């Protein structure tokens, strides 16, 4: 019992002195931790995104209605069946009807694009800006073109954050 060995009666003061020292030490540690946290917070920069920022471009596509004989059946489809752009891109779409016998139309309603009929071998050109990200559908707008009219569809994909 060290407190009992001290005879000068200063034990309570000494204890209180140690208490103050502990208090100061604790305070110093807390302040150090806060300061370190603040410095880390101030100097922290989030890692750059893996994807580079999107710069709008002009993109031109050739879209062709293809007619294919499949045994007894004749099938029609768009080539390519998927187009991908970045949001903000200016799109030039050259739509050709490659079906030598039948007219087909073209519709991409999300961008107000619609033409009732493109004669065999003819090309229509559309220009628009891909302003909204999303997955949109294009298709043939001439409902009487062929029995597989409903299958004449494709996807127009606009990448980006809304």
Measure the CA angle with vertex 111, ends 105 and 113; round to 5°. Answer: 25
Nearer to Cu ion, 40 or 70 (CB): 70
By CB under 5 A, is residue 67 in contact with Cu ion?
no
By CB under 5 A, is residue 145 in contact with Cu ion?
yes
Residue of the chain from 140, 154, 156, 158 that contacts Cu ion (CB under 5 A): 140
- Grouping H, G, I as helix, E, B as strand and the rest as coil, residue 3 is helix
Number of residues that bind Cu ion (CB under 5 A): 5
Measure the CA angle with vertex 135, ends 131 and 141; round to 5°. Answer: 95
Nearer to Cu ion, 89 or 99 (CB): 99
Measure the CA angle with vertex 25, ends 23 and 31; round to 5°. Answer: 100
Site string for Cu ion, 85-124 (x = CB under 5 A): -------------------x--------------------
How far apart, in whole angstroms, are the C-alpha atoms of residue 85 and residue 93? 12
- Per CB under 5 A, residues contacting Cu ion are 104, 140, 142, 145, 152
């Amino acid at each position: 019992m060290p407190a009992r060995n001290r005879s000068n009666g200063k034990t309570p003061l000494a204890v209180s002195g140690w208490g103050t020292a502990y208090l100061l030490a604790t305070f110093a540690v807390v302040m150090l931790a806060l300061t370190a946290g603040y410095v880390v917070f101030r100097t922290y920069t989030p890692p750059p995104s893996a994807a580079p920022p999107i710069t709008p471009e002009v993109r031109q596509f050739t879209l062709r209605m293809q007619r294919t004989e499949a045994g007894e059946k004749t099938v029609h489809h768009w080539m390519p069946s998927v187009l991908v752009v970045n949001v903000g891109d200016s799109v030039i779409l050259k739509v050709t009807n490659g079906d030598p016998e039948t007219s087909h139309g073209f519709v991409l309603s999300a961008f107000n694009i619609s033409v009732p009929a493109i004669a065999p071998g003819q090309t229509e050109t559309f220009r628009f800006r891909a302003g909204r990200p999303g997955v949109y559908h294009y298709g043939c707008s001439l409902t009487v073109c062929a029995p597989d009219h409903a299958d004449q569809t494709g996807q127009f994909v606009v990448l980006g954050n809304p």
